């Protein structure tokens, strides 16, 4: 159980829209990542949580699962290719940990598809690309990771990491 003292639903707008988002391209960042065991227990997959950061669907989440450790060599090959696309889209070609990919903007190509088991529509990420437009809040991607910023290049206090 979790302690919820101090939470008052009267003061927070409820989240009601859980419909899939339309096909399209969305700027997003990875906010969470975790290796999880497959349902069969014969391998592990990397689960990435993407959060849309711009536009009408800002703050909506999308999940991607990459079968990086699986007895099926084709599944592993597909996952490695998808991870390569993700790495290239965020500009981190040799990550040492999945957290190296967090909070870096990229563009997701999102499609709607029907679930085989229920027939319901769901979102699926079909591609990744780099954010092309360089604006004042994304210019930080020009600076190699690990170099401290100061002055006008430093992110505003309390601003999200992708708005550097």
Q: pTM to 2 decimals? A: 0.73
Specify whether the CB–CB gap between 124 and 108 falls below 8 A: no
Specify whether the CB–CB gap between 20 and 121 falls below 8 A: yes
Domain boundaries, the chain: 19-132
CATH number of 19-132: 2.40.50
How many angstroms separate the CA atoms of 14 and 152, rounded? 37
Please give the average pLDDT of every successive group of 10 residues along the chain, which has 164 residues.
86 79 97 95 96 95 96 96 97 96 98 93 96 47 37 47 51
pLDDT on residue 66: 97
Reduced to 3 states (helix: H, G, I; strand: E, B; else coil), residue 39 is coil
Reduced to 3 states (helix: H, G, I; strand: E, B; else coil), residue 34 is strand
């Amino acid at each position: 159980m979790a302690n919820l003292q101090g939470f008052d639903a009267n003061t927070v707008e409820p989240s009601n829209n859980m419909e899939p988002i339309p096909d399209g391209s969305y700027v997003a960042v990875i906010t969470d990542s975790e290796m999880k065991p497959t349902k069969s227990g014969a391998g592990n997959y990397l689960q990435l949580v993407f959060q849309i950061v711009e536009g009408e669907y800002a703050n909506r989440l999308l999940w991607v699962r990459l079968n990086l450790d699986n007895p099926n060599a084709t599944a592993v090959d597909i996952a490695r290719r998808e991870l390569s696309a993700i790495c290239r889209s965020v500009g981190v070609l040799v990550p040492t940990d999945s957290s190296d990919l967090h909070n870096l903007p990229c563009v997701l190509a999102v499609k709607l598809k029907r679930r085989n088991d229920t027939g319901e529509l769901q979102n699926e990420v079909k591609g990744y690309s780099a954010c092309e437009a360089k604006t004042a809040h994304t210019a930080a991607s020009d600076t190699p990771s690990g170099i401290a910023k100061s002055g006008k290049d430093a992110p505003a206090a309390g601003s999200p990491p992708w708005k550097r």
